[in-house]
Amino acid sequence: MARYVFITGGVVSSLGKGLASAALGALLQARGFTVRLRKLDPYLNVDPGTMSPFEHGEVFVTDDGAETDLDLGHYERFTGVAARKTDSVSSGRIYSNVLEKERKGLYLGKTIQVVPHVTNEIKDFLAIGDDEVDFMLCEIGGTVGDIEGLPFFEAIRQFSQDRPRGQCIFVHLTLLPYISASGELKTKPTQHSVKELRSIGIAPDVLLLRSEHPIPVKEREKIALFCNVRRDAVVAAPDLKTIYEAPLAYHREGLDQAVLDAFGISPAPKPNLDRWEDVMDRLVNAEGEVKVAIVGKYTQLEDAYKSIAEALTHGGMANRVRVRAEWVDSEIFEREDPAPWLEGFHAICVPGGFGERGTEGMIRAAQFARERKIPYLGICLGMQMAVIEASRNLAGVANAGSEEFDHEAGVKRFEPVVYHLKEWVQGNHRVERKVTDDKGGTMRLGAYTAMLAEGSNVARVYGSAAIEERHRHRYEVDIRYRDKLEGCGLWFSGMSPDGRLPEIVEVKDHPWFIGVQFHPELKSKPFAPHPLFADFVRAALEISRLV
């Protein structure tokens, strides 16, 4: 039976519960334990799949096709444990499950209430797979005191009482604000946050304190006294230069030891932190720099492309160089020549997205990279825009475009080189979709196999003839244009096993030009950089040395 660590937040949101959870998971792994991390979100959306990137940041996709919060990306990047559908749940999903059971008569006519029906549903979710690992780390989204989160807090309170004594602990992350006028760190917000938590029946075992300044012993002792927490369980969470410093920093502050002490695990196995020391060595002691332009449509919020930014950093680690990624709004290129904006970069990445806005700018960015021989990585929509660019400027399909844009506009304007995917094979069965289907969960989601052409650039990069990558899209490049495009030098170098769906394209007469329909960034880790990003940065490094 797993031991449970519940991570909650107080005072303000966005303090870094996800990062703290991921770092704690990495530290427990370093001591030889197995872990799994979960996220419980209070919002009423069933999942983030239909939420705007400006609202919620990127949508992280698991191998089994769940659309989840971006914190699951942190979990995977820090622990290497592949997330599953059962590692993410929202209030919307919980209520949906409860109402579905009520409609089926499974509650035998009882009055449906938050307690016990909603809380029981949450507890059932928490218990999934608890015999598989040593520790289950569960992050509760939002901040204590939020009305939306009350069912989750009540559920974890009940859950901790249902389990044998010593099987559950609570880690509470709060803010210690610094008042510059008085030169003081203020502990009162943390005291009130813990008071709020205790009022609903939860007493924190470990306090994790975010602060821009070092926390003096006096303040730690005060917090321990007034929050009824052991002195050595008051742990500082300082600001860091990079998120990958978190495991080492939290270990120095004693977070993992405090957690093990709370469980009474003594003597605790000594940690092996060689992996994280190597990660930091590659970051701190970089031997060069490359500049990469990320030309996208959600550049106002960097979290919309969080995994891409991190995967580029990992690619830099693999080459012992620092990647300076700069965000460029693709809409600019619909009004201006991209050359003055892009000439100073060593590589160009065009990421995914939905809708027509900004896509003509992405097409011009792909054209610039192809014609100027600049390394280009197109991901999902970025691959589709590269195909449309080649169709227009190489294959003579002047009005090439995507059915997605015609559907959006309500009129036919383009020859659909990219079309709405209506059916595909998933495992042993065929999936069918219509344009009129609900948006949530209806895309081609999760891990699918691709077969790589012998002698292709991607086959060299992967070192394999078959790969498995995660997808999230509902529009696909039309195979009917393959012969015409390959005759112009755009090679369909990766295909689905049945040969019907293009997975990868590359330009033959180019140093490095690859477009992929899937999302390789979702599987990259600092200690295991994704091969596409590692080779993309290598190609950028070669260009930088020629400049």
349 close to 293: Cβ distance less than 8 angstroms: yes
Q: Give the model's pLDDT for residue 184.
A: 86
Mean pLDDT (whole number) for 425-444? 64
> Got the DSSP string for 134-187?
SEEEEEEPS-TT-GGGHHHHHHHHHHHHHSPTTSEEEEEEEE--EETTTTEE--
Bridging pattern class, strands 178-179 and 184-185? antiparallel
Residue 440 has pLDDT above 70, yes or no: no
Q: Is 251 a catalytic residue?
A: no
Q: Give the model's pLDDT for residue 51.
A: 78
* Each residue's pLDDT tens digit, 237-264: 988 989 999 999 999 999 999 999 999 9
Question: Which structure tokens are listed for 158?
Answer: 């009940």
Of 56, 251, 471, 519, catalytic: 519
Q: Give the model's pLDDT for residue 14.
A: 83
Facing residues of 516 across strands? 379, 504
Q: Give the model's pLDDT for residue 248.
A: 97
pLDDT band per the 50, 70, 90 thresholds, residue 355? confident
**Right CATH for 287-546 from 3.40.50.880, 3.30.1320.10, 3.40.50.720, 3.20.20.70:** 3.40.50.880
Facing residues of 432 across strands? 423
132 vs 432 pLDDT, higher one: 132
* Each residue's pLDDT tens digit, 8-49: 999 888 889 999 999 999 999 999 999 999 999 998 888 887
pLDDT band per the 50, 70, 90 thresholds, residue 300? confident
* Each residue's pLDDT tens digit, 130-163: 999 999 999 999 999 999 999 999 999 999 999 9
Question: Which structure tokens are listed for 257?
Answer: 């030891």
**Coil, strand or helix: which one is 35?**
strand
Residue 471 phi/psi, 5-degree rounding, is -115, 155
Between helix 91-103 and helix 119-127 the angle, nearest 10°, is 110
* Each residue's pLDDT tens digit, 93-127: 999 999 999 999 999 989 999 999 999 999 999 99
All residues at 6 or more sequence positions from 388 whose CB lies less than 8 Å from its CB, including other chains: 363, 400, 401, 402, 417, 418
Task: Provide the 8-state DSSP code for 114.
Answer: I
The domains of the chain are located at: 3-279, 287-546
458 close to 493: Cβ distance less than 8 angstroms: yes
Whole-prediction pTM? 0.93
50 close to 440: Cβ distance less than 8 angstroms: yes
Q: Give the model's pLDDT for residue 528.
A: 97
Question: Which structure tokens are listed for 38?
Answer: 């979960």
Q: What is the dihedral of CA 519, 524, 530, 534, to 10 degrees?
A: 110
Facing residues of 473 across strands? 444
Q: Is 488 a catalytic residue?
A: no
Question: Which structure tokens are listed for 333?
Answer: 């290129």
Residue 275 has pLDDT above 60, yes or no: yes
Give the integer Cα–Cα distance in Å for 205 and 218: 20
Average pLDDT, the chain: 92
Residue 359 burial by Cβ neighbours in a 10 Å radius (0-12, 13-18, 19+): buried
Bridging pattern class, strands 423-426 and 178-179? unpaired
Of 380, 389, 404, 476, catalytic: 380
Q: Give the model's pLDDT for residue 61.
A: 94
384 vs 52 pLDDT, higher one: 384
Q: Is 521 a catalytic residue?
A: yes
Residue 413 burial by Cβ neighbours in a 10 Å radius (0-12, 13-18, 19+): exposed
Give the integer Cα–Cα distance in Å for 513 and 48: 31
Give the integer Cα–Cα distance in Å for 145 and 153: 10
Topology (CATH level 3) of domain 3-279? Rossmann fold (3.40.50)
- Closest C-alpha among 379, 384, 385, 362 to residue 533: 379
Residue 187 has pLDDT above 60, yes or no: yes
Give the integer Cα–Cα distance in Å for 217 and 447: 49
Give the integer Cα–Cα distance in Å for 516 and 379: 5
| CA triple 382-400-453, angle to 5 deg | 55
Mean pLDDT (whole number) for 344-370? 94
Give the integer Cα–Cα distance in Å for 463 and 496: 18
Give the integer Cα–Cα distance in Å for 207 and 224: 9
* Each residue's pLDDT tens digit, 377-410: 999 999 999 999 999 999 999 999 998 887 766 7
DSSP H/E element including 105: none
Mean pLDDT (whole number) for 298-312? 88
Give the integer Cα–Cα distance in Å for 490 and 516: 13
Above pLDDT 90, what percent of the chain? 79
Radius of gyration of the chain (CA): 25
Single-letter amino acid, residue 37: L
Q: Give the model's pLDDT for residue 409.
A: 65
40 close to 140: Cβ distance less than 8 angstroms: yes
Of 139, 253, 310, 521, catalytic: 521
**Coil, strand or helix: which one is 397?**
coil
Q: Give the model's pLDDT for residue 437.
A: 62
Domains 3-279 and 287-546 share a fold: yes
Mean pLDDT (whole number) for 492-503? 94
DSSP H/E element including 458: helix 457-462
Q: Give me the count of residues in the chain.
A: 547
Residue that the structure tokens 């042993």 belong to: 428
Mean pLDDT (whole number) for 411-428? 74
Q: Classify 154 in phi/psi space as left (phi over 0), alpha (psi -120 to 50) or beta.
A: alpha
Give the number of other Cβ atoms within 10 Å of residue 399's Cβ.
12
- Closest C-alpha among 334, 443, 354 to residue 405: 354
